[in-house]
Chain A
Amino acid sequence: MNKSLPNSAITIRVQAADFDVNAEQKNLRELTRSVGAIVSFVGLVRDINDAVSVSSMELEHYPGMTERTIKDIADKANQRWSLLGITVIHRIGALAPTDQIVLVAVSSLHRGDAFQACEYIMDFLKTNAPFWKKEKTSEGERWVDARVTDKKAEQRWHQ
């Protein structure tokens, strides 16, 4: 099976600016009149991580490889499910608690495909896209450690 969405249906952006979930969902709605479902996930900055208070964070990335990696993940999701559109936006730079970090929004004919593809894309983004978080906490600055639970979340898709 070699399905391909037109490039216009896959949007990937890495940016410092905030994003508007409604505007992104509207773009997905307007891609095609056959869309029946949109599932969106938004990741946020928490004010506490591993029981330590976080005042802000800095998100670093590997320009080029991040976009390429996310595109590869989106293409694999598109192979696996029947999708109509995929939008992934990831922010970089300085972020504070309650700020939006990442949006994964997926549209499809029926909800099942969009639900699963959204979680799949997010799980692989977490473990593969080259972003790094550095937190400013009440105990000083620290790089966030990768989580075993994120790796397990990715691995269940291989089963």
Chain B
Amino acid sequence: MIHVLFFASIREQLQTGKLSIELDADGITVAGSASIGLSVSTVEQLIAYLASTYDQSWLPVLSADNVIKAVNQQVVDKNFIISDGDEVAFFPPVTGG
């Protein structure tokens, strides 16, 4: 299981705050996709998976250059490899303080 979180303007654009994804042995496989399947291991592949599963409009939102990706609450880049049990978050540049 991977836990995915969205915050602030990204949460609003996707109209989703969090969701969970079941992993199988080969990573995540998109149900009903082409026979080769789509196996997810990196953050970038997770974005493609989410877009194909939930809504294609998610792809440009989550792929935008300024979107910050965090795995287990540490900022990572799109090539970071996700493991089972990870918490993956997407959020815009921060504006606290």
Q: Which residues of chain B come closer than 8 Å to A134, judged between CB atoms? A: 8
Contact call B89/A62, Cβ cutoff below 8 A: yes
Of A3-11, A21-29, A125-133, the segment with at least 4 beta carbons within 8 Å of chain B is A125-133
Contact call B95/A146, Cβ cutoff below 8 A: yes
**B89: min CB distance to chain A, Å:** 6
Contact call A125/B8, Cβ cutoff below 8 A: no
Residue in A102, A127, A132, A150 whose Cβ sees the most chain B Cβ within 10 Å: A132
Contact call B97/A132, Cβ cutoff below 8 A: no
**A119: min CB distance to chain B, Å:** 12
The reply on B46 being an interface residue by CB < 8 A is no
* B81-97 to A contact mask, C-beta < 8 Å, 1/0: 00000000101111111
**A34: min CB distance to chain B, Å:** 30
Contact call B89/A65, Cβ cutoff below 8 A: yes
Residue in B8, B9, B94 whose Cβ sees the most chain A Cβ within 10 Å: B94
Contact call A126/B7, Cβ cutoff below 8 A: no
> Which residue in B5, B70, B92 is a CB contact (below 8 Å) of A143?
B92
Contact call A127/B70, Cβ cutoff below 8 A: no
Q: Which residues of chain A come closer than 8 Å to B9, judged between CB atoms? A: 132, 143
The reply on A20 being an interface residue by CB < 8 A is no
The reply on A59 being an interface residue by CB < 8 A is yes
Please, could you name 8 A-B residue pairs with CB atoms under 8 Å apart, sorted by A?
A62-B5, A69-B73, A126-B96, A134-B8, A143-B8, A143-B9, A143-B92, A146-B92
Interface residues of A, Cβ cutoff 8 Å to B: 43, 59-62, 64-66, 68-69, 90, 101-102, 122, 125-134, 143-146, 150
- Closest A-B pairs by Cβ, 4 of them: A131-B96, A146-B93, A132-B8, A65-B73
